[in-house]
Amino acid sequence: MTNYTFNESIRIELQDASLTGDLAIPESAAGLIVFSHGSGSSRLSSRNRFVAKHLQQSGFATLLFDLLTGSEDKEYNNRFDIPKLTRRLIETTYWLQQDPRTRDLNLAFFGASTGAASAIGAAAAEGPQIIKAVVSRGGRPDLADTVLMDLQVPTLLIVGGKDEAVLEMNIQAQNQMQCIKDLEIVPDATHLFAEPGALELVARLATDWFRKYVKPEKQQPLHQNRP
């Protein structure tokens, strides 16, 4: 059984939005994994919550939150506005580094589908002093192609073996990356990893990557003021 020092819904107050999130911090947390959801999804995504629960049981804090407000999400184009979503993720990172509940935890990103593009974009912008690792599940790193060569954060790409179009996009993205990187293919899995055992394997692969690169020492100070 996991014991928590904090496990509640929160409000993330940014300059142009107030966002809803679910923050879970186990005792002696090894780091904080921030989830960036794909288009049409939310912090209530059953797949991401499954991965988050596995991470919590492994000693990681997690934040599942909505990058868009309710009214913003009703405008379909916002869901694919990668620059806007990336800015929101960066601003949320600054917010987390100032909040007393999370400011001493090292940070990493878990991005799913289009959310992986914003995770990669934010990690490329903030660098390895701030973001320690990125994991992409069925992600679209091609939507962040302009920053792939600038990315310095250790990045794991997880793709279903039967998700052929997305797999090809991830192979091409991996070839452009100059950072520590790996590509894990989940055999016989499709885009949503709905096959028996597929999501469990995703959770284990992500946890192993974060264990390797997200260390529990104190986070580095911000290298610039919050925008």
pLDDT for 72 equals 81
pLDDT in tens, 60-102: 999 999 888 888 877 767 777 899 999 999 999 999 999 999 9
Place of tokens 């300059």: 15
pLDDT for 42 equals 73
Count of domains forming the chain: 1
pLDDT for 177 equals 97
pLDDT for 77 equals 75
Place of tokens 């090292």: 106
97 domain residue, yes or no = yes
pLDDT for 39 equals 64
- SS3 state at 143: helix
Give the full edge-to-edge strand order of the sheet including 18-26: 4-13, 18-26, 61-65, 32-36, 107-112, 131-137, 155-160, 181-186
221 domain residue, yes or no = no
* Segments of the chain scoring below 70 in pLDDT: 39-41, 76, 216-227
206 domain residue, yes or no = yes
Please check whether residue 168 is in contact with residue 140, taking contact to mean a CB–CB distance below 8 angstroms.
no
Please check whether residue 224 is in contact with residue 168, taking contact to mean a CB–CB distance below 8 angstroms.
no
Q: Which domain holds residue 137?
A: 4-213
pLDDT for 43 equals 84
pLDDT for 215 equals 73
226 domain residue, yes or no = no
Q: Give the list of residues 6+ apart from residue 20 with CB closer than 8 angstroms, or none.
A: 9, 10, 11, 12, 43, 65, 66
pLDDT for 49 equals 94
7: left (phi over 0), alpha (psi -120 to 50) or beta: beta
18 domain residue, yes or no = yes
pLDDT in tens, 56-66: 999 999 999 98
218 domain residue, yes or no = no
CATH number of the domain residue 42 falls in: 3.40.50.1820
Residues in the chain: 227
pLDDT for 220 equals 45
225 domain residue, yes or no = no
Query: How wide is the angle at C-alpha 188 spanned by C-alphas 184 and 194, nearest 5°?
Result: 95
- β-pair type (32-36, 181-186): unpaired
Say which DSSP state 149 is in: G
104 domain residue, yes or no = yes
